Chain A
Amino acid sequence: MAAATSTEVAFPLLSMMIVVPVVGALIIAVLSNRRPEYSKLVALLASVGTGALSVWTFANFDSHSSGFQFTSQHPWIESWGISWHLGVDGISLFLVLLTGVLFPLAIAGIDPHNDDPRRDKPYFAWLLLLEAGVMGSFLSLDLFLFFVFFEIVLVPMYFLIGGWGYEGREYAATKFFLYTMAGSAFMLVSILATVFIARDDGVGKITFDLIELAEGANFAASTGRWLFFGFAIAFAVKVPIFPLHTWLPDAHTQAPTAGSVVLAGVMLKLGTYGLLRFGLYLFPEASYWSRSLWLTLAVIGIIYGAIAATMQKDLKRLVAYSSVAHLGFIVLGTFAFTSQAVTGSVMQMVNHGVSTGALFLMVGMIYERRHTRQISELKGLQHVAPIFAAAFTVVMLSSIGVPGLNGFVGEYLILIGAFLTARWWVVVAATGVILAALYLLWAYQRVFHGEPDEENSTFAELRVKEALVILPFIAVIFFTGVYPKPMLERIEPAVNALIGHVEERTDFVEPQPAAPIVDDEVHSHGEED
C-alpha cells in the first residue's frame, strides 16, 4: 500500500458506483404511484449498471499492483480536511464486485410480496440506497467518508427489516439499528481522536485521509491502543464477534429474504473489512498487541456459533448462527498476520457472501412455498423437489467447506496460515469445521430426507426464474473452488503490502517470507520449527 495511487482515470468510475444507485433511488422516488411496476425496472437497471461498473473495475484491475487503483479525490468539506477520496485495492476489489453482482440478483430474483403494489416503490428505493452505502463503505479512503457510509447503511436496512420483515421485525430492526449505532459511537470519537492526535504525532495537519494517516502517523503505543479499540468495537459489533453478536440472529431471521442475502452477503463484511483496513493498516502496533484477544474471541465465536446453530429449530436462524461461526474464521485469519491467513480471510469474506447469501435465498424460497421456517415442519423435500435439493446441497457443501468448492479454499488458507502464528487457536478452530458439517448436514437430513408428509408433498420444484438466480451463485462456488487463482493473485499483493506495513511498525516478523501462496505448507512448517 506504500505506492498510494497507480492509475488515475478520467471517468469517475468508483464515484459512479455510488452515484448510480442513488440516482436510481431518486428516480423511483419521483415515479408515479400509479405505475409501481416501473420501480423494479429502474432498480434493476441501476443495479445492473453498477454491477457492470464493478465488473469493468475487476477486468481492468492491475493484479500486480498492491496500491489503490482507480482513485479519485475531490475536496468535500475543506474546513475539516475531509475529501471525497475513493480507491480500490486487492482487499476491497472482490467485495466491491460481490456487492455489484449480489444486488441485481437480489432485486431481480426476490419478490418482496407486497399486498399493495405501491409498496414496491420504497422497497426498491431502500435497496438501491443500501447498495450505494455499502459500495461507499468499501471504496472510501477517507475516515469521515467511510464513517458516513458505514453509518448510513443502517437507515435503509432498518426500513427493509422493519417494513418487509417477518413477525418480530419491529424488535429486530430497532435492535439492529441501536447495536450498530452504539458501536459506531466509539468509532466516531476514535476517528476524531486519531485525526487530532495524528496532527501532533507525525502528520502535521488535520486530515481524514486514510493513507496519509496510516503512513504518516506515529502514535505512542498506549494511545494507538485506545484509538484502535474505539474502531474495533464498531467493527466487532458489525462482524459480529462474540459476545456482541446477539443482534444478528434476530436481524437475519426477521429480515426479508433480500435483506438477509445482502446482510449476510456484504454488510457483515463491513466489519471484517474494517478490521483489515482501519484496524491493521491504521494501528498495526495495537492490532498486533491485542491479537490474542481477537483470536480467542474468534475461536469462541466459531465453536459457539456452531453449537448454537446445531440447536436451532428455525432454519433461517440456523443459517444466521452459522454466519457467526464463519465470520469467526475470517477474524481468526485476519489476526494471524500471515500472508496466507489474511488472503484466506479476504477470500472467505467473498465466499461467505456467496454461500450464505445463497443459503438465505433458498431458505427464502422454502418459506415462500411452505410459509414456515421451522425445521420440524419440513420433511422429505428431496422427494418432491430433487433439483431444488441438489442446488441446496451444493450451496450447503460450499458453506461446510468441502474441497472443490469455494468455501474450502478460504478456510484452508486461513487454517494453514494461522497455524504458523496461532497454533493452538487453530487446533480448536479446526473442530469448528467438523461442527459445520454436523449442523448443516443434520438440518439437511431433517428437511430433505424421509417421506414427505401431506403438507410437504406439494412442495414445488425449482422454477426457471429461481434457477436463473441461484445459478450464478453455484457457478461461482464451483469456479472459485476449482480455480481460485484469479482471486488469489489479485488479493495477495495488497495483503503482502499490508503485512509488510505491520512488520515495519511492530517487531512482528512473518514466519515465512513472501512465497507463492499455494504448495508451501510443508516448507513453511519446517521453517517455523
Chain B
Amino acid sequence: MVAQDTFIGPSVDWFALSPHLVLVGGALFLMVVGALTPAWPRNLMSLTTVGFTVAAAGLSVFIWNDIGAEGPSAIVGGVLAVDRLSLFLTFAVLAATALVALMSDAELRGTDNDGPEIYSLLLVAATGALVMVGANELIVMFLGLETVSLALYVLAASDRRRSASQESGMKYFILGGLASAFFLYGIALLYGGTRTTSLTDMVTRLQSQVNIGGNDALVLAGLALMLIGFAFKVSAVPFHVWSPDVYQGAPSNITAFMASVGKVAAFGAMLRVLTSALPFYRDDWRPIIWVLAVLSLIVGSLLAVVQTDVKRMLAFSSVSHAGFILVGLEAAGLSAGENAMFSSVQSVAVYLGLYSVLVVGSFAVIGVAGRGGDTTLDGFNGLSSRRPTLALALTVFLLAQAGVPFTSGFVAKWGVIQSAVDAGSYWLAVIAMLAAVIAAFLYLRIMVSMWLRPADDNAEAVNVPGLSGIAIAGAAGFTLAIGIYPQWVLSVAEGILSFA
C-alpha cells in the first residue's frame, strides 16, 4: 500500500465539540496557572473549576437548541454523537462535577493535595465522561473510558495520608484494568463480526447479516465481553465486588464523583451500544440485563443493610440503584431500535441525571460529617442535635434514595418502573420495588442513628465549610424541587427522540 502524502482529517464541528474543549482547557489552565502562581486564596480553585463546568454547560445549552433546529449529528467523521441523549447526560456529568468541585475544597484544604491537581483531574475525567456518553465509535468509546478510569485511579488513591485510599486506588486500578481488557476484547470481536467499529455502520451491516442469517458467533461473543466490561463499570452484581472497597477507601469527594459521573458515563455508553448498535440482538442481551438487574437489586440492597460503615452502605446502595437503571434498560430492550424505546431511554436518562445529583449530595454530607475519616454508622449518632440542618439535608437525600414522594428519587424510580410495566416486565418491576423496600431499611438505619440516637459526649463539633454547604443546599433544593414539580425535567428529557 502506498503511503498517502497528505493526511486529510475529517472536518470538525468545533462548536459542537466546545464543551469538551472548555473542560480540557480548564484542566490545562489550572495545571499551568496553578503551577506558576503562589497558593491561591481559599475556595478560588474550586470556584474556577465550577466556572469551567458552567461554561461548558452553557455551551451545551446552545448545542441542545441547535439540535432542535438541525437534528442530531455525528461529528469528527461520525465518531462522536451530538444528540439529545449525549447532551442530557452531559448536563448530568457537568452538574455532578460542579457539585464535586464545590465539596472538594473542604476535603483538600490543609492537606498536601491542596493544589490544582485534583481539580484538573476531575475536569479531565469529566471530559472522558463526555466522550463516553457521546461516543458513536467503539475505539473512541474506549478512549473515553480510559480517560475516565485513569483519572479515577489516581483520584481514588489521592489521599496520601490514609492507606485505605492507596488500597482503594490499587484495587480499582487492577480490577478496572481487567475490565477494560474484557471491554477491548469485546470491541475486537465485534469488529471481527461486523468489520466496523462505528455504531452507525454496525447497525446497517448487522441488518443485512441478520437477514442472510449468517454466523453471528463473533458478535455474540463480543457482546458478552463488552457487557462484562460495562457491568464492571456500572458495578452491577456479580461484577460489583470492587465498589464497596473502592468507595469506602477513596476520599468522599472522589467517591461522590465515581458514583455519579462514573455511573452516568458507563450507563450512557452502555445504553448507546445496546440500543443503537445492537438492537437486532435485543433478544440476546435483554435476558442478560434482566439477570444483572435482579441480582444487583437484591444483592445490593441486602448487603447494604448489614454494613456498619456509611460509605460502604451507600456503595452497596449504589449497586442497587444500578439495578434500577438496568430495569429501565431492560425495558428499552423490548423495542430497541424502534422509536418506542425512547420513552424507556428517557426514563434511564432522567434516573441518571437525578441520581447523580442526589448521590453527590449524600456524599457531600458524609464528607462533612465524617471529616477525619470516621464514616462508621455510630459516628452519625445524634447528628441531628449537633448539626440539625446537615441532618435534615442528609435525610432529604436518603428519603430520595429510598424513593419517597416529593423527592427527585421518587420521580426517577417512577419513570423506570413505568417503562418496565409498559414493556410488560411486571415481575422485574415488583422485584425492583421490593428491593427498594429492603434498601429503605438501610436509609432508615442511618436516619435512626442521626435522629434517634444520642450523640457521643466526646463527638467532635461539625463545621460545615461554605462551599460544601452550597453544594449540599443546592443538591437538596434540586432534589425537593424536582420532587414537587418534575414536569420541567421530564419535558427536557422528552427531547431525547433519536440517536445521531
User: A152 touching B404 by the CB < 8 A rule?
Assistant: yes
Give A185 to B433 CA distance when docked, in angstroms: 5
Cβ distance A18 to chain B, nearest Cβ, rounded Å: 12
Contact A79 B490 (CB under 8 A): yes
B28 within 8 A of A: no
Partner-contacting stretch, out of B61-69, B87-95, B361-369, B422-430: B422-430
Which A residues between 38 and 90 are near B, CB-CB below 8 angstroms?
A: 76-80
In the complex, chain B residues whose CB is within 8 Å of the CB of A238? none
A174 within 8 A of B: yes
- Contact B426–A189 (Cβ < 8 Å): yes
Name the A residues within 8 Å of B434 (CB-CB).
182, 185
B34 beta carbon closer than 8 Å to chain A: no
Interface size on B, residues (CB 8 A): 28
Do B417 and A162 touch (CB < 8 A)?
Answer: no
Are A159 and B399 in touch, CB under 8 angstroms?
A: no
Contact with A along B409-423 (1 / 0, CB 8 A): 010001001100110
Q: Which residues of A contact B410 (CB under 8 A)?
A: 148, 151
Q: Are A155 and B417 in contact (CB under 8 A)?
A: no
- In the assembled complex, A503 has its CB within 8 A of some CB on chain B: no
CB <8 Å contact, B433 and A80: no
A162 and B452 contact, CB distance less than 8 A: yes
Contact B430 A185 (CB under 8 A): yes
Q: How far is the CB of A129 from chain B (nearest CB, A)?
A: 10
Query: Is the pair B433, A152 in contact by a Cβ cutoff of 8 Å?
Result: no
- Residues from chain A with a CB closer than 8 A to the CB of B75 are none
Most buried by B among A155, A178, A189, A192: A189
Chain A 147-164, CB within 8 Å of chain B: the 1/0 string?
Answer: 111011011001100110
Q: How far is the CB of A413 from chain B (nearest CB, A)?
A: 35
- Establish whether residues A80 and B418, one from each chain, have CB atoms under 8 Å apart when the complex forms: yes
Q: B158-166, B276-284, B436-444: which one contacts chain A?
A: B436-444
Question: Are A148 and B433 neighbours in the complex by a CB distance under 8 Å?
Answer: no
Q: Is the CB–CB distance between B405 and A185 below 8 Å? A: no
Contacts known (A186-B430, A189-B429); A148 close to B406, Cβ less than 8 A: yes
Q: How far is the CB of A15 from chain B (nearest CB, A)?
A: 14
Q: Which residue of B404, B422, B487 contacts A155 across the interface (Cβ within 8 Å)?
A: B404
Tell me whether A79 and B444 are in contact (CB under 8 A).
no
**A177 at the binding interface (Cβ < 8 Å):** yes
Q: Does A155 lie within 8 Å of B452, measured CB to CB? A: no
Knowing A182-B437, A189-B421 touch, does A155 contact B448 (C-beta < 8 A)?
no
Determine if A170 is an interface residue (Cβ-Cβ < 8 Å).
yes
* A119: nearest chain-B partner, CB-CB: B385
A78 to B491, CA, bound (A): 9
Which residues does chain B contribute within 8 Å of A277, judged by CB atoms? none
CA distance A159 to B404 in the complex (A): 14
Query: Is B486 an interface residue when CB atoms closer than 8 A count as contact?
Result: yes
Digitize A463-500: 1 where CB-to-B-CB distance is under 8 Å, 0 elsewhere.
00000000000000000000000000000000000000
A68 to chain B, nearest CB (A): 23
Contact between B441 and A174, CB atoms less than 8 A apart = yes
Q: Are B451 and A193 in contact (CB under 8 A)?
A: no
| Contact string against B for A residues 314-325, beta-carbon threshold 8 Å, 1 for contact and 0 otherwise | 000000000000
A384 touches B (CB below 8 Å):
no
**Interface size class for chain A?**
20 to 34
Kindly state whether residue A188 has any CB partner on chain B within 8 Å.
yes
Are A77 and B426 touching (Cβ within 8 A)? no
B490–A189 CB distance below 8 A: no
Chain A residues within 8 Å of B448, by CB: 162, 170, 173-174
Question: Counting CB contacts under 8 A, is A169 at the interface?
Answer: yes
Question: B483 — nearest CB in chain A belongs to which residue?
Answer: A148
B-facing residues in A239-292 (Cβ within 8 Å): none
A177 B440 Cβ-Cβ under 8 A: yes
Smallest CB-CB separation from A133: which chain B residue? B405
In whole angstroms, what is the CA distance A147 to B451 when docked? 26
B201 at the interface (CB under 8 A from A): no
> Within the complex, what minimum Cβ distance (angstroms) separates B429 from chain A?
5
Chain A proximity of B354: nearest CB distance (Å): 14
| In contact, B406 and A162 (Cβ under 8 angstroms) | no
Contacts of A192 in B (CB 8 A): 417-418, 421-422, 429
Least CB separation from A121: chain B residue: B388
Q: Give the interface SS of chain A, mostly helix, strand, loop or mixed.
A: helix
Is A185 a contact of B437 with CB atoms below 8 Å?
Answer: yes
B381 to chain A, nearest CB (A): 12
Interface check A196, CB cutoff 8 A? yes
Smallest CB–CB gap between A12 and chain B, Å? 17
> Of B405, B417, B436, B491, which is in contact with the most chain A CB atoms at under 10 Å from its CB?
B405
Compute how far the CA of A178 lies from the CA of B404 in the bound complex, rounded to whole angstroms: 12
For the complex, what is the distance from the CA of A80 to the CA of B416, rounded to whole Å?
Answer: 12
B404: chain A residues within 8 A (beta carbon): 151-152, 154-155
**A229 nearest CB across to chain B (Å):** 11
Q: Which residues of chain A are within 8 angstroms of B491 by Cβ–Cβ distance?
A: 79
Indicate if A181 sits at the interface (CB-CB under 8 A).
Answer: yes
CB neighbours of A76 from chain B (8 A): 487
Among B71-114, those with CB < 8 Å from A are none
- Contact yes or no, A178 B440, CB < 8 A: yes
The residues in B between 467 and 500 inclusive whose CB is less than 8 angstroms from any CB of A are: 486-487, 490-491, 494
Inter-chain CA distance A253–B58, complex, in Å, is 56
Q: How far is the CB of B456 from the nearest CB of chain A, in Å? A: 18
Alpha-carbon gap, A170 to B445, bound state (A): 9
User: Which residue of chain B has the shortest Cβ distance to A187 in the bound complex?
Assistant: B433
Cα–Cα distance between A485 and B383 once the two chains are bound (Å): 54
Q: Which residues of B contact A174 (CB under 8 A)?
A: 441, 444, 448
Q: Closest chain A residue to B441 by CB distance?
A: A178
Known: A79-B490, A163-B451, A178-B444. A155 touches B399 (CB 8 A): yes
CA distance A360 to B487 in the complex (A): 42
Contact check, A77 vs B486: say whether CB atoms are below 8 A apart: yes
Contacts of A158 in B (CB 8 A): 444
The B-contacting residues of A in range 124-177, CB under 8 angstroms, are 144, 147-149, 151-152, 154-155, 158-159, 162-163, 169-170, 173-174, 177
* Interfacial chain B residues near A178, Cβ < 8 Å: 437, 440-441, 444
* CB-defined contacts of A80 to chain B, threshold 8 Å: 414, 418, 490
Task: Verify A152–B444 contact, CB threshold 8 A.
Answer: no
Residues of B within 8 A of A173 (CB): 444, 448
A76 CA to B406 CA in the complex, in Å? 13
Report the minimum CB–CB distance from B382 to chain A (whole Å).
13
- What CA separation (Å) do A173 and B406 show in the bound complex? 21
Binary interface encoding of chain B residues 456-472 relative to chain A, with 1 for a CB under 8 A from any of its CBs, else 0: 00000000000000000
Q: In the assembled complex, how far is the CB of residue A209 from the closest CB belonging to chain B, in whole angstroms?
A: 16
Kindly list chain B residues whose C-beta atoms are within 8 Å of the C-beta of A186.
430, 433
User: CA–CA, A155 to B402, complex, Å?
Assistant: 11
Docked-complex contact A77 and B490, CB < 8 angstroms:
yes
A189 touches B417 (CB 8 A): yes
**Which of B417, B430, B437, B451 contacts A159 (CB under 8 A)?**
B451
| A174 to B491 alpha-carbon distance, docked (Å) | 36
Asked if B430 and A163 sit within 8 Å, CB to CB, the answer is: no
* A162 CB contact (under 8 Å) in B421, B451, B490: B451
**B-side contacts of A170, CB under 8 Å:** 448, 452
Q: Say yes or no: A152-B487 contact (C-beta < 8 A), given A174-B448, A178-B437, A186-B430.
A: no
Point out the residue from A151, A152, A163, A196 that lies within 8 Å of B422, measured CB to CB.
Answer: A196
Q: Which residues of A contact B429 (CB under 8 A)?
A: 189, 192
Return chain A residues, CB-CB under 8 Å to B399: 155
Residue of A nearest to B423 (CB): A196
- Determine if B487 and A188 form an interchain contact, defined as CB atoms under 8 angstroms apart: no
Q: What are 16 pairs between A and B in contact, CB < 8 Å? A: A77-B487, A80-B418, A144-B414, A151-B404, A155-B399, A162-B451, A163-B451, A163-B452, A178-B444, A181-B437, A182-B434, A185-B433, A189-B433, A192-B421, A193-B426, A196-B422
- Name the 8 nearest CB pairs between A and B, nearest first: A185-B433, A192-B421, A148-B405, A79-B490, A189-B429, A182-B437, A152-B405, A181-B437
Beyond A76-B487, A148-B405, A193-B421, list 19 extra A-B contacts (CB 8 Å): A77-B487, A77-B490, A148-B406, A155-B404, A162-B448, A170-B452, A178-B437, A178-B440, A182-B437, A185-B430, A185-B436, A185-B437, A186-B430, A188-B417, A189-B421, A189-B429, A192-B418, A192-B429, A196-B421
